[in-house]
Chain A
Amino acid sequence: DTAVSQTPKYLVTQMGNDKSIKCEQNLGHDTMYWYKQDSKKFLKIMFSYNNKELIINETVPNRFSPKSPDKAHLNLHINSLELGDSAVYFCASMSQLKPHEQYFGPGTRLTVT
């Protein structure tokens, strides 16, 4: 069973469109994250969500909005896509219990044309 899954794996879309990436974890974790890996392979946090609180990275444009229908899901919705949004987006989850190890999804490669 896949611990952290993301759909779709690849997403090609045109500028200006709105798209969503879904993430699900079956680990029973209570904290989930979205990371962005840019063209230089640098991974940076976008959002973290812990049941009660969504922490937004202030460098992330407000066109990006995470949505969590329940504890096992944290979806990422992107409005008015731009060329610079092309990247690989990784979802991760973590338990508040030790050892605070994060588990990553396989990534979604988004290409905006």
Chain B
Amino acid sequence: KQEVTQIPAALSVPEGENLVLNCSFTDSAIYNLQWFRQDPGKGLTSLLLIQSSQREQTSGRLNASLDKSSGRSTLYIAASQPGDSATYLCAVTSGNTPLVFGKGTRLSVIA
């Protein structure tokens, strides 16, 4: 049974810092991995999707890496801004299966 763990559970950083969020999964037989952002009381916004054959994906100040063999992914956020404050969720799927989510990392960027 696939399990996804995210560390840390919460993170507070001053504005401008670079930061890394970690995600690990127990079953390396995944099809893809997604990083989502969830603002308080809001839905989920997909940030990046990495196929199992890929090593990383970049979008603006965000860079997600995937090491499938070790069951790990990282989300790197460069030059953090207060607007980046949200909960970041990592999720994996084995193709047609539903996503299995981690519990998220709650990020606060302090101005």
Contacts and interface: CB of A to CB of B under 8 A. Distances in A.
Contact of A106 (B43, B46, B87, B89): B43
A52 interface: no
Interface secondary structure of A, over-half rule: strand
User: Size class of B's contact patch?
Assistant: 20 to 34
Interface secondary structure of B, over-half rule: strand
A43 B88 CA distance: 12
Interface stretch (B15-23, B75-83, B98-106): B98-106
Interface in A89-113: 90, 92, 96, 98-107, 109
Interface residues of A, number: 25
A70 B45 CA distance: 25
Interface of A: 31, 33, 35, 40-45, 48, 50, 90, 92, 96, 98-107, 109
